[in-house]
């Protein structure tokens, strides 16, 4: 079955009808935290839930679903998005630097699994912070020296531009991260040629960073570079 695109936000009448309809039971995480949720809302937003509760699986008969490998905190961000149309919860990481970047990428994949890539915008601030800081003795230190280790990888570019819609702040941040990593030298050329939207976004960030004296400002750490 072809995958649907991102679902539209229901209007007030549609939303009321969805939350007033039948409920399903979802158990999340190894401790099986229980949620009694509006089936129509879940299925409106997500192919995954639609197939589970309306398909030929046991969950369609029982109207119960277990997600033992999901994390409660991450699931609740998706749930908040479906219930309010935005994700107000902040996502907290114990990871730092490159590991924090990877955690952000993992959440983008997680949100995309449920057709809820829009909810992944919640990682914008943690990702920006991870790109801006290195850590010493557990405390963030501004990155002002060169060269700096890449923290946005080519595969991260492919993920973000493959999942997030045009206009996403994460697309802009990924291009800024690549520019900060590579400077004005050629970098991630394969992605420039093959990833839809990346070259155009990178050009926008390059133009925004160039100064009249020939120097340019690193969009991640805010220092001038040659």
DSSP-derived secondary structure letter, 138: T
Q: Lowest-pLDDT range, 44-58, 66-80, 107-121, 123-137?
A: 123-137
Predicted TM-score (pTM) of this structure = 0.86
Relative to beta strand 64-67, strand 23-28 is parallel
| pLDDT for the residue 109 | 97
For residue 94, the 8-state DSSP code is: S
- 90, exposed or middle or buried, with CB in 10 Å at 0-12, 13-18, 19+? exposed
The 10s digit of each residue's pLDDT in 55-89 is: 999 999 999 999 999 999 999 999 999 998 776 66
The owner of tokens 């129509």 is 40
Q: What angle do CA 93, 30, 97 make, to 5 degrees?
A: 15
Nearest-angstrom CA–CA distance, 74 and 92? 10
The pLDDT, as a whole number, for residue 226 is: 67
44's tokens = 């409106």
Answer left, alpha or beta for residue 33, where phi above 0 means left and psi between -120 and 50 means alpha: beta
Run of H or E residues at 91: none
């Amino acid at each position: 079955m072809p995958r649907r695109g991102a679902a539209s936000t229901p209007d007030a009448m549609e939303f009321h009808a969805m939350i007033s309809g039948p409920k399903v039971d979802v158990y999340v995480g190894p401790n099986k935290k229980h949620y009694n949720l509006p089936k129509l809302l879940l299925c409106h937003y997500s192919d995954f839930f639609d197939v589970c509760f309306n398909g030929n699986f046991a969950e369609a008969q029982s109207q119960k679903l277990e997600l033992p490998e999901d994390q409660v905190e991450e699931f609740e961000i998706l749930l908040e998005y479906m219930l309010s149309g935005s994700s107000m919860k902040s996502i907290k990481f114990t990871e730092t630097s490159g590991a924090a970047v990877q955690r952000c990428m993992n959440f983008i994949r997680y949100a995309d699994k449920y057709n809820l890539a829009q909810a992944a915008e919640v990682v914008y601030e943690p990702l920006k912070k991870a790109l801006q800081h290195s850590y010493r003795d557990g405390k963030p230190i501004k990155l002002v020296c060169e060269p700096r280790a890449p923290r946005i990888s080519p595969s991260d570019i492919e993920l973000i531009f493959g999942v997030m819609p045009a206009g996403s702040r994460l697309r802009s941040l990924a291009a800024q991260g690549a520019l900060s990593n590579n400077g004005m030298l050629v970098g991630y050329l394969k992605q420039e040629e093959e990833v839809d939207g990346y070259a155009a976004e990178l050009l926008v960030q390059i133009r925004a960073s160039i100064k009249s004296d020939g120097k340019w400002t690193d969009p991640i750490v805010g220092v001038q570079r040659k």
